[in-house]
């Protein structure tokens, strides 16, 4: 994978350029697995020693190739044969109820790479999701400099400054990624992109729960969620005012003439990132126990976490309305009393949505295909 090298200008309060810096970024590729300490066993195995992996030619910066050493701490439990390279990613298997610290070292030959040569590492973890019982995957990243996440991941920071990312939505093998730069909105939503400015870094990966099963973490460099962090540091001209923000639109989702309607979640995406979480909303009516805000709270559980119109005071069609910036995709979950069709309006557009009377499933619509 080629290097990224960009110039960034730091601007003083009087608009003068104070200094010039270069961003030399390693966007990791795990396609060349050179050293493999795992067996080909398909049974659950607990490793009591540190496992050392090596990946060759993981990135190129200024015509120099770099390798990567990966070390997994003792106590790691998995089905060894299930861990393998997928495209330019590494699929790491782990048992539910297990966790491990994974240390990475960027190498130039046998030496640790000089951070002055590579001052930005782009590392991503994909497919953070939940099981259908109590399991959920998580990631902590001490020392991370900058990060980006998908809409199906919660982020927090401990008192010690350690960033933690936790899955919030269900997933299964059907939504596992195959190419890091060709991801569905669902996979983008469960991705975390991290920037480290050291050639040695660690993350901890874990799966809470007690199910007798396992899940995958997909390790990658650049993804469709975040292709580079260097571009964030680039300023091509002196900025004297704050950059403009994208204007909000009024979005309205209208039911057909079928009775009753329960909506668990309404998600707007732009380039795979949610833009309407906790949106300000209104509705044609609502119960005090199931207000419109429940359709934008990031919770997809079906047990009374939904918006419902008050059927005692109105007949269909019903509507729910919210403010949000432009988007390219909408996802809708009907939790019960599902409808056949719905209409979405925003700006000058009207969009016919085939809801298929589908219950529980997150329906996905590309706005360019359904809006006119």
Tens-place pLDDT, residues 240-281 = 233 334 457 889 999 999 999 999 999 999 888 898 988 889
Length of the chain: 372
Other residues' Cβ atoms within 10 Å of the Cβ of residue 190: 28
Domains of the chain: which residue ranges?
Answer: 4-233, 249-370
pLDDT at 26: 93
Residue 38 pLDDT: 94
* pLDDT score, position 226: 86
The whole-model pTM stands at: 0.63
Distance separating alpha carbons of residues 142 and 146, to the nearest angstrom: 11
pLDDT beneath 50: ranges in the chain: 1-21, 234-246
SS (H, E, C) 213-261: CEEEEEEECCCCCCCCCHHHHCCCCCCCCCCCCCCCEEEEEEECCCCCC
Where in 135-191 does DSSP place strands (E)?
A: 136-141, 146-149, 153-157, 163-167
CATH 4.10.280 fits 249-370, yes or no: no
Looking at every residue in the chain, the average pLDDT score rounds to 85
pLDDT, position 133: 66
Give the pLDDT of residue 302: 58
Q: Over the stretch 7-35, which tens digit does the pLDDT of each residue have?
A: 333 333 333 333 334 678 899 999 999 99
The pLDDT score that the predictor gives to residue 105 is 96
Rounded to whole angstroms, how far apart are CA atoms 78 and 99?
Answer: 10
Instruction: Report d(CA 9, CA 316) in Å as an integer.
Output: 56
What is the per-residue DSSP string for 2-56? Answer: --EEEEEEEE-TTS-EEEEEEEEEEE-----EEE----S--S-EE--S-EEEEEE
Q: Which residues pair with 320 in a beta bridge?
A: 253, 283
Looking at residue 35, its pLDDT comes to 95
| pLDDT for position 185 | 78
Distance separating alpha carbons of residues 290 and 335, to the nearest angstrom: 12
Q: What is the pLDDT of residue 251?
A: 93
* C-alpha–C-alpha distance, residues 207 and 71, integer Å: 19
Cα angle at 347 between 345 and 353, to 5 degrees?
25
What φ, ψ does residue 81 adopt, rounded to 5°? Answer: -70, -15
Backbone angles phi, psi at 369, to 5 degrees: -95, -20
Assign 301 to helix, strand or coil.
coil
Burial class (CB in 10 A: 0-12, 13-18, 19+), 150: buried
Kindly state the tokens that stand for 224: 């469709």
CA–CA gap between residue 140 and residue 160 (Å, rounded): 12
Residue 132 confidence (pLDDT): 67
């Amino acid at each position: 994978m080629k290097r990224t090298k960009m110039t960034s200008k730091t601007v003083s309060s009087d608009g003068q350029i104070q200094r010039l810096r270069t961003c030399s970024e390693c966007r990791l590729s795990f396609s060349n697995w050179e050293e493999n300490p795992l067996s080909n066993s398909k049974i659950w195995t607990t490793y009591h020693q540190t496992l050392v992996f090596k990946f060759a030619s993981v990135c190129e910066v200024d015509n120099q190739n770099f390798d990567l050493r990966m070390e997994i701490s003792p106590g790691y439990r998995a089905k060894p044969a299930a861990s393998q390279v997928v495209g330019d990613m590494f699929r790491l298997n782990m048992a539910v109820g297990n966790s491990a610290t994974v240390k990475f070292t960027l190498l130039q030959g046998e030496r640790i790479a000089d951070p002055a040569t590579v001052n930005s590492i782009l590392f991503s973890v994909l497919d953070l999701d939940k099981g259908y019982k109590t399991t959920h995957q998580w990631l902590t990243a001490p020392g991370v400099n900058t990060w980006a996440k998908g809409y199906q991941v919660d982020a927090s920071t401990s008192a010690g400054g350690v960033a933690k990312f936790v899955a919030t939505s269900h997933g299964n093998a059907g939504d596992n990624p195959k190419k890091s730069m060709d991801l569905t909105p669902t996979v983008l939503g469960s991705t975390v992109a991290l920037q480290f400015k050291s050639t040695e870094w660690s993350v901890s990966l874990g799966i809470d729960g007690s199910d007798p099963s396992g899940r995958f973490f997909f390790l990658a460099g650049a993804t469709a969620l975040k292709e580079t962090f260097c571009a964030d540091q680039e300023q091509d001209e002196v900025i004297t005012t704050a950059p403009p923000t994208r204007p909000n639109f009024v979005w309205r989702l209208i039911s057909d003439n079928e009775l009753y309607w329960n909506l668990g979640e309404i998600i707007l995406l732009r380039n795979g990132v949610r833009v309407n979480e906790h949106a300000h909303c209104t509705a044609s009516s609502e119960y005090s126990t199931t207000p419109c805000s429940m359709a934008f709270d990031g919770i997809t559980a079906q047990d009374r976490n939904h918006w419902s119109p008050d059927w005692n005071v109105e007949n269909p069609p019903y509507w729910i309305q919210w403010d949000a910036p432009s988007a390219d995709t909408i996802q809708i979950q009907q939790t019960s009393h599902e409808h056949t069709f719905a209409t979405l309006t925003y700006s000058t557009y009207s969009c016919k949505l085939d809801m298929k009377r589908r219950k529980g499933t997150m329906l996905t619509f590309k706005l360019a295909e359904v809006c006119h």
